[in-house]
Amino acid sequence: MLMMMMLCRKNTSVDVAGSGSGSGSGSIPVYLNVYDITPFNGYAYWLGLGVYHSGVQVHGVEYAFGAHEYPSTGIFEGEPKKCDGFIFRKAILLGWTEFGADDVRKLMEELALEYKGNAYNLITKNCNHFCNHASVKLTGNHIPSWVNRLARIGILCNCVIPETVTTTRIQQRRKEDHKKQVITTSSNSNTSLSSSPSETITKSVTPHS
């Protein structure tokens, strides 16, 4: 009975990533938020297995990557530790960054060109690969290997973008074009969303308290 309780227990504490991580220059913490995709993880976690979704949290925003059928970005952002459709397991401190909020946003714009929804691939480009890429850019550290272990041996449980997201424009912030990037009417917004799908990002819709 005791063994069963240990296997089913969920660890929701903040961990620090392995040797060499949790370091790096900067004063802004970067976390990996790990979610269970299946209840099977309650047992598999203790065996070093499991199927996980993950997102990178920095400056109070969680960024993640999911699959969809369109050639626009699969990166989406939302409230930390509350990704719809998944069960939050734990947060892991990946390290520290010097990136300000605007710098992080610019990085996500760059990654948005590479991480498109219809390019999602279990082996080479899933949500955990995205988080690892973002973590290396932000902190110089990799995410823990166990988070993506089953992807490497081909066990699939796709991370799909939650249904409660809406498309929001990511635009390159060139100084000379700054004023043109300000959307002043709903009709201009609709026009903006219809072009350059590779520069879009999805943003979670959360109720205001």
Q: How many domains does the chain have?
A: 1
C-alpha dihedral (191, 196, 199, 203), degrees to nearest 10: 40
In a domain? residue 105: yes
- Contact yes or no for 78/206 (Cβ under 8 A): yes
In a domain? residue 209: no
In a domain? residue 4: no
In a domain? residue 2: no
The answer to whether 127 is a known catalytic residue is yes
Structural domain span for residue 189: 9-204
* pLDDT digit string (tens) for the chain, length 209 residues: 333 333 333 444 567 665 444 456 789 999 999 998 877 666 656 555 678 899 999 999 999 999 999 999 999 999 999 999 899 999 999 999 999 999 999 999 999 999 999 999 888 899 999 999 999 999 999 999 999 987 766 655 667 766 665 444 333 333 334 443 333 334 444 433 333 334 445 564 333 33
- Contact yes or no for 42/10 (Cβ under 8 A): yes
CATH of the domain at 53: 3.90.1720.30
In a domain? residue 64: yes
Report pTM: 0.70
Q: Catalytic pick from 53, 129, 133, 142?
A: 53
CA distance 139 to 98: 8
The answer to whether 8 is a known catalytic residue is no
- Contact yes or no for 165/65 (Cβ under 8 A): no
- Angle, alpha carbons 71-76-9 (nearest 5°): 125
In a domain? residue 1: no
In a domain? residue 33: yes
> String of b and e for 73-111 (b: at least 16 CB within 10 Å)?
bbbbbbebbebeebebbbbbbbbbbebeeeebbebbbeb
In a domain? residue 104: yes
Residues forming beta bridges with residue 58, ordered by sequence position: 61
CA distance 81 to 50: 18
Q: Catalytic pick from 8, 59, 83, 127?
A: 127
